[in-house]
Structure 1
Amino acid sequence: MTNATEDSLRAAVHQLADEARSVPGLAERALRGGRRIRRRRRVTASAGAILTAVALATPFLLARPQPTTRVAEPTRTGTATRSAPVSVEPKSGGNWTSAPLVLPGGWVVTGAIDATDPTSWAWVLDRESGRYRTVDGYAQVWAAPRGHVAAVLSFERPSETGLLDLRTGEVRWIRTGRQIMQPQWSPDGSRLVLTIDDKDAGTTAIGVLTATGRFRDFLVDTKKFFCTDYCFFTWGPDGREVAFQQTDPALPRSESARHPRRGVQFFSAEDGRPTRFLAVRGDPAGPWSWSPDGQRVVLTGPDGPQLVEVATGGVLRPMPDADAVWVDDGRLLYRSHDKSAPMVLIDDEGRELERQPLPPGLIDQHVSMAPK
């Protein structure tokens, strides 16, 4: 689970990854860097240096020349290196760590990151042992919904993605290119989708990295598949496609609000081929944003989180949180701002069914979850 503020900060942190070596002041520097990028690119665009449509961007509206290549075959494969094993031992200090923490609707907590300092530690659920383990020293840690591998990011390796084996503690580093936003695990935990941003070449690509270390990328024609704000790839509901937000070029855009959408474009995760377009005007958070019956989707729309009908694109009702996940066709689970009992199960009409507190150690943490 994440939100726009965290994603914006992560995007700016990636811009500073080459120079970032210490945590103090990092957030402030990242936000300043994001503002500088936004101002510089706005000036460049107004001077006429960019003559084609605005390319795929981070949340700070990065404008740059367009690639001439449309969706392409894989251009490279991952190069793997290994690093020494890291400590992934169970951490003491709470009985909840000895078994999967079950949430309303039968989901479980799969991971948690220290919200104030991600490099200090992260919890990761080891499905094989059924225990939570701690991982230290990485810029970010992304727990997989299944399996025994977690993805990690290091400031020392800005163009690589690490695959941490929870059984051995060994990290396998794959050269993937610099990514923006955060990678996302497929529902079965077998693959990561990455948004690869090559500023030197002026290209954007879908990156697909398997838990076994195979990497492929597919260039996307961002002039044809137009997106200018909060642009990143997420998994579709079945794990065979990735989704990409599309800006509506006919409507005005402002830096003070999310850019208006015309819909969501899907691509094959196998070969990068465009597959289908849905006129749902907003941003899905991930594969579990889509209802199991395929008829509804939770989006971040122009007026905040919304429940939308897929067939028509019509807004059914506001939602309490854009990261709400479908437990089944009639129930959704989300994390509220109520720290005393933040995990909330609701029906598809928005009626509250159940609340559950989190252990004290997780109250202020960024928590990920998946089906049990």
Structure 2
Amino acid sequence: MNRGAGSAAAKQDRIGSVQMAVLFLFFMTGSSIVIIPAPLTNVAGNGAWLSLLIAWAAGALLLACVLYLNRRYPGRSLFEYGREALGNAGTALLLAPFLCVMFWHVAGIVIEIGLFFKSTMLKETPTYAVNSVLLVTIALTVRAGLEVMARMASVFLGLMFGAIVLVLALVGPLYHPEYLMPVMPDGIGPILNAAYIAYGFPYAELAVFAFILADVKERDSAKIGKRLYLALAVNGLTLLVSVACSIMVLGPLSGDLKYSLYQLARLIFIREIIERIESVIGFSLIVGFYFKTSILLHILVRALGLAFRLPNERILVFPVALLCLLLSLTTYTEEAKMEEIVSIVWPLLDNLVYVAPLLLIAAVTALRGRAGRSRGRDV
């Protein structure tokens, strides 16, 4: 079975394993670098870095499952995995909620971008204006195709990581390593609670990449596993260093101040030469939000095209973007509600809607493979 359900354009839209790893790194780091340090340190305190390590280990195991299915079903997407393992009815039952949640997932990141702008740089700008401009830009990017997105990401990755390194380096004089102790003042409970939050966002979300791993060029497919794990290692190290640096600079306030990396940028002051650079840093960090949303919208459009067997899935880009825009303007736009969703609701949704179908398909595939090998030995 080939990817006949996809579009003709999508069949030509192939990228290398390095480009896929760059997209994966953007997807895993893009919004989490801005959002995740504050809720982690708010729950786990000085032990937030330990929670992050636990969540990263769970993410690494989930990535192993995604790569296993990619090896067993080369050139196919998650829908096609499901049809092969569970049949059409079972796939529809499991992946219909997947698609519904992905609409809100795209809208949720756009809401976070709007809240970030409203609370930091564009306080007088209406939310609908920010969200509309962002989603139009994102839709145009997705309409251009995966290959164009990958080339753009390769250029902008340096901008985002350069901003992160610049901030962490320039606040060096403000570090207080003693703020990292004690590691677990309230025991293991808060550490595990924070690990649950970090696992749900961003590590459980990597399950959606099962839709586009088939877009890696055939000659590069053998290398994709190593490069995705390298990207995951860079992501884990970046988040770990950011959380630790936030604690060393802000101390007990690190859990109370949203957008920790942006708050660190506001503290940079070097002899009246380098100061007030947080806006530049903020726009650099927005690049991460932008690419993560673009990747998610691309995956959503791809999934809808496969589900309905459309000959050209790109005709869905603007209608789907419009629906996501309406969701971003009519659902949770208050910061307190968004914090509750990120900490409690979103990890649960990720596990039920993204991770559970993937694990079920992997389990059925493994059992069928074992049964087939047993029959072969009996013969």
Asked if Structure 1 and Structure 2 have the same fold, meaning a TM-score greater than 0.5 normalized by the shorter chain, the answer is no
**Larger RCO, structures 1/2 (Cα 8 Å, 6+ apart):** 2
Q: TM-score, normalised by structure 1?
A: 0.27
Structure with the bigger percentage of strand: 1
Q: TM-score, normalised by structure 2?
A: 0.26
Structure with the bigger percentage of helix: 2
